[in-house]
Amino acid sequence: MKRVIFSLIAAMLFAANVSAAVIITGTSFENEYPSGDGRYYHDVNDADHDMDNWAGVIVDSTQDSVDACDLGFDAYFYDVNDPAYIQTTAEYDYLGVTDYTPIYQESMADGNQAYQLQDADGKIQLTFDTVNVTGMDNVWVLLDLFVKATSWETAGEGTGFDAIDIKLQTDAGNVQIVDPNVDPDFSGLEGKWTTLTGVVPAGATQAALVASLTCNAASEAIWIDHVRFIVGATDGPNESTSWEDFILTTDLRGILDEYPTQGIDQSISNSEANTGSKSLKVGHEDVSGTPQAYLAWINDLQIGDVVTARFYAKNGVTDGNNIRIWGHWTDNNDMENYEGSAGGNAKYSGNDWTELIHSWTVTDANATGLAVEARVYLDNGDFGYVDDLTVWAPAHANITLPEASGYYCETRPEYDFNKDCKTDLTDFAMFALDWMSCTRYPSTECEE
């Protein structure tokens, strides 16, 4: 099955020459419905061949087009001519669309299903539909990958070698996303969901995501989820911070705000960093619920806009899940306004620095602001680290990030309306703007 996807949204963008960031196509495998055993695949053909759905197991997409943004996929088996691969092809192995989550994971990266490749006994290649990107600038592909932690063989052909190979194939050249020659044992990818990105070369008119697994053991498996093509993701502001400009470790402006009040114990770390020499340290204060550190606020958004944010996080304690990327909607004028949860990525930080990335699409004209959060899933007193925050948004949007102040605020004065840790004429002017405001009902009670 080979199809060329040119979504309705993409067609409108092309026709109107609009460069606002949107997700033009993608899949999280939610519109496929395995039946019966649903994930246990059987195929005894050792020759190169196109793989077919079998006994309720879905290895090829069954939907011609669920909607304008549906991205199909097709599986193919290759004989690698390696004597170590002595078993028959995918003989009763876990393969295809599944709701069987990776080991030690509570959820998929997005939704309830993903695509699993396991014990290929050769090479199984998953090719997604070709996407028409004619006339589009700044096209990205993003996907989430989970690699099972196991003993991967890397000695080369003749020894049962293993390989994960993920690339973008385009008519303007290929882009390697996971290169088995660079990371042969996948040590940076094991045991966690990792968001991977690739940029379609300028001038390309067609692009297809291709992922393959070469292996020969039941313990060797990967999961793929949340595949999406985004156009114009870097077209507008590209703002970032690594907290390198913060002088004082006790500076309270490492975050924009928090919820609940005094829920986040924050400081600037000089001992932990993903890059540079500093990072943001966030701890769980003695409050109930899940504290949230507001890291960025994006406003002046419009319906259909896509905002993408990424930061790296690391556990400060080794047990459990520590930090996630999340967000909530606001109105256009106030970051502390709440117009509902915007959701986020299912991945958590790990014991090593972990990339956390998510994209949000504006759908409500009353919620044209977005606060990007680091949610802290810890016990009281525990902590973690955040570094290298980057936000991409359309050109008309405004991005606010934490800024170094050169001082810290021990406690905020009661009437510090602009939150600069000082009560002055600016605060008085803000007070005066609201002078004689009245919200009594009935309104006649305001006439006294």
Domain CATH code at residue 89: 2.60.120.260
Q: What b/e sequence results for 1-10 when a residue is b if at least 16 CB atoms lie within 10 Å of its CB, and e otherwise? A: eebebbbebb
The answer to whether 227 and 209 have CB atoms below 8 angstroms apart is yes
Boundary-marking domain end, from 202, 231, 260: 231
Boundary-marking domain end, from 173, 201, 231: 231
Alpha carbon of residue 447 to chain centroid: 53
- The reply to whether 59 and 126 lie within a common domain is yes
CA distance 333 to 401: 15
- Domain membership flag for residue 435: no
- Domain membership flag for residue 420: no
Give residue 84's pLDDT. 54
CA distance 5 to 21: 18
- The reply to whether 189 and 286 lie within a common domain is no
CA distance 175 to 389: 24
- The reply to whether 303 and 400 lie within a common domain is yes
Total structural domains within the chain: 2
Angle at 355 between CA 169 and CA 249, to 5 degrees: 150
Give residue 346's pLDDT. 76
- The reply to whether 278 and 380 lie within a common domain is yes
- The reply to whether 187 and 307 lie within a common domain is no
- Domain membership flag for residue 378: yes
Closest among 113, 129, 42, 36 to 77, alpha carbons compared = 42
Which residues, including other chains, have CB under 8 Å from residue 179's CB and lie 6 or more apart? 165
Residues of the chain with pLDDT under 70: 1-22, 36-40, 44, 63-69, 82-92, 104, 106, 154-160, 182-185, 187, 232-238, 250-252, 318-321, 405-410, 448
Q: How far apart are the first and last CA of the chain?
A: 75
- The reply to whether 217 and 245 lie within a common domain is no
- Domain membership flag for residue 247: yes
- The reply to whether 227 and 352 lie within a common domain is no
Phi and psi at residue 431, to the nearest 5°: -65, -45
Give residue 189's pLDDT. 82
Residue whose tokens read 């109107």: 16
Give residue 107's pLDDT. 80
- The reply to whether 196 and 176 lie within a common domain is yes
The residues that bridge with 40 in the sheet, in sequence order, are 94
Give residue 235's pLDDT. 44
CA distance 304 to 428: 38
Give residue 212's pLDDT. 94
- The reply to whether 218 and 112 lie within a common domain is yes
Boundary-marking domain end, from 213, 231, 249: 231
- Domain membership flag for residue 314: yes
Give the residue numbers spanning the domain of 258. 238-410
pTM tops 0.85, yes or no:
no
- Beta strand residue intervals within 242-340, DSSP E: 257-259, 264-269, 279-284, 292-299, 306-315, 323-330
The answer to whether 201 and 173 have CB atoms below 8 angstroms apart is yes
Map the chain to HEC letters.
Answer: CCCEECCHHHHHHHHHCCCCCEEEEEECCCCCCCCCCCCEECCCCCCCEECCCECCECCCCCCCCCCCCECCEEEEEECCCCCCCCCCCCCCEECEEECCCCCCCCCCCCCCCEEEEECCCEEEEEEECEEECCCCCCEEEEEEEEECCCCCCCCCCCCCCCEEEEEEEECCCCEEEECCCCCCCCCCCECCEEEEEEECCCCCCEEEEEEEEEECCCCCEEEEEEEEEEECCCCCCEEEECCCCCCCCCCHHHCCEEECCCCEEEEEECCCCCCCCCEEEEEECCCCCCCEEEEEEEECCCCCCEEEEEEEEEECCCCCCCEEEEEEEECCCCCCCCCCEEEECCCCCECCCEEEEEEEECCCCCCCEEEEEEEECCCCCCEEEEEEEEEECCCCCEEECCCCCCCCCCCCCCCCCCCCCCCCHHHHHHHHHCCCCCCCCCHHHHHC
- Domain membership flag for residue 432: no
Give residue 405's pLDDT. 61
- Domain membership flag for residue 445: no
- The reply to whether 37 and 84 lie within a common domain is yes
- The reply to whether 117 and 265 lie within a common domain is no
- The reply to whether 321 and 338 lie within a common domain is yes
- Domain membership flag for residue 149: yes
Rounded to 5, what percent of the chain is helix, strand, coil?
5, 40, 55
